[in-house]
């Protein structure tokens, strides 16, 4: 048997079958530890426009497109308000600029080990995100070389309805060509979990943010872990 050592994890190479053949990953808060910066950027920009939006709101809305988040925040304040696409685009551009000012987000601890482990089995690895943050897409190859392909990504630019609508995950599932029972979603956000379950997919929650494990369980996650180490241990189980 061959083994590869990655820190504290030694795993057998390409001999033990995985539980699934396709793995669909959210990006913010799961691949990149970017959610604290997103929360601060959203809170600052929304406050500038007299819109009520807290850090917790950011985590609860994670996975939705920026358009949907801003539209709801504006109409929540003024129900009869007509909101133009140009206004939303301008606010979202401010938010993106505020986020980019923080610099480069680092990967979530040990997510690289999970991705390397999956990659060795030749399974499909997808990104399914509500983000349109180009600065993060640009960093994927730097931090995770040879893992992700552009045709294995579903982003805010590829859908008409963001999470919790199932469209993003259904689009990834259809693109994979796999049966649903062969697919597994990895999510850290309640709305992302809800979208995945509405798409009929097995879903693992990873609690990387300020919400509780119960928030992820209540959204419908089949199983919830605290860390990527826990996820890797689970994937290595026969």
pTM above 0.85, yes or no: no
| pLDDT value of residue 16 | 53
Residue ranges of domains in the chain = 3-34+105-235, 35-100
Q: Tokens for 2?
A: 């061959």
CA–CA distance, 185 with 183 (Å, rounded to integer):
7
Q: What is the pLDDT of residues 158-170, one digit of tens each?
A: 998 989 999 999 9
- The DSSP code sequence of the chain is --EEEETTEEEE-S-SPPS-SEEEE--BTTTB--HHHHHHHHHHHHHHTT----HHHHHHHTTS-HHHHHHHHHHHH-TT----HHHHHHHHHHHHHHHHTT-PPPBPTTHHHHHHHHHTTT-EEEEE-S---HHHHHHHHHHSTTT--GGGEE-GGG-SS-TTSSHHHHHHHHHHT--GGGEEEEESSHHHHHHHHHTT-EEEEE--SSS-HHHHHHTT-SEEESSHHHHHHHHT--
In CATH terms, the fold of domain 3-34+105-235 is Rossmann fold (3.40.50)
Are 148 and 112 spatial neighbours (Cβ–Cβ below 8 Å)? no
Q: pLDDT at position 180, please?
A: 98
CATH topology of domain 35-100: DNA polymerase; domain 1 (1.10.150)
Low-confidence ranges of the chain (pLDDT < 50): 1-13, 15
> Closest Cα to residue 185, out of 194, 18, 35?
194
pLDDT at 40: 94
Q: Residues with Cβ < 8 Å from 177, sequence gap 6 or more?
A: none
CB atoms within 10 A of CB 78: 9
């Amino acid at each position: 048997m061959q083994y590869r050592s990655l820190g504290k994890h030694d795993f057998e190479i390409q001999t033990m079958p995985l539980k699934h053949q396709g793995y669909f990953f959210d990006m913010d808060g799961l691949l990149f530890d970017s959610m604290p910066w997103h929360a601060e950027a959203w809170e600052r920009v929304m406050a500038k426009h007299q819109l009520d939006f807290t850090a917790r709101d950011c985590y609860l809305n994670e996975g939705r497109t920026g358009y949907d988040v801003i539209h709801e925040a504006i109409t929540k304040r003024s129900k009869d308000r007509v909101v133009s696409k140009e206004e939303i685009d301008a606010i979202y551009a401010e938010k993106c600029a505020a986020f980019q000012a923080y610099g480069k987000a680092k990967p979530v601890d040990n997510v690289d080990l999970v991705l390397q482990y999956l990659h060795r089995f030749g399974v499909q690895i997808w990104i399914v995100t509500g983000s349109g943050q180009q600065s993060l897409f640009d960093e994927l190859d730097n931090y995770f070389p040879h893992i992700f392909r552009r045709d294995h990504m579903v982003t805010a630019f590829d859908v008409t309805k963001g999470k919790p609508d199932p469209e993003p995950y259904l689009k990834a599932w259809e693109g994979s060509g796999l049966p649903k029972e062969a697919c597994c979603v990895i999510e850290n956000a309640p709305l992302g979990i809800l979208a995945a379950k509405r798409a009929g997919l097995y879903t693992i929650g990873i609690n990387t943010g300020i919400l509780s494990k119960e928030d992820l369980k209540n959204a419908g996650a089949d199983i919830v872990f605290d860390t990527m180490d826990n996820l890797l241990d689970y994937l290595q189980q026969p």
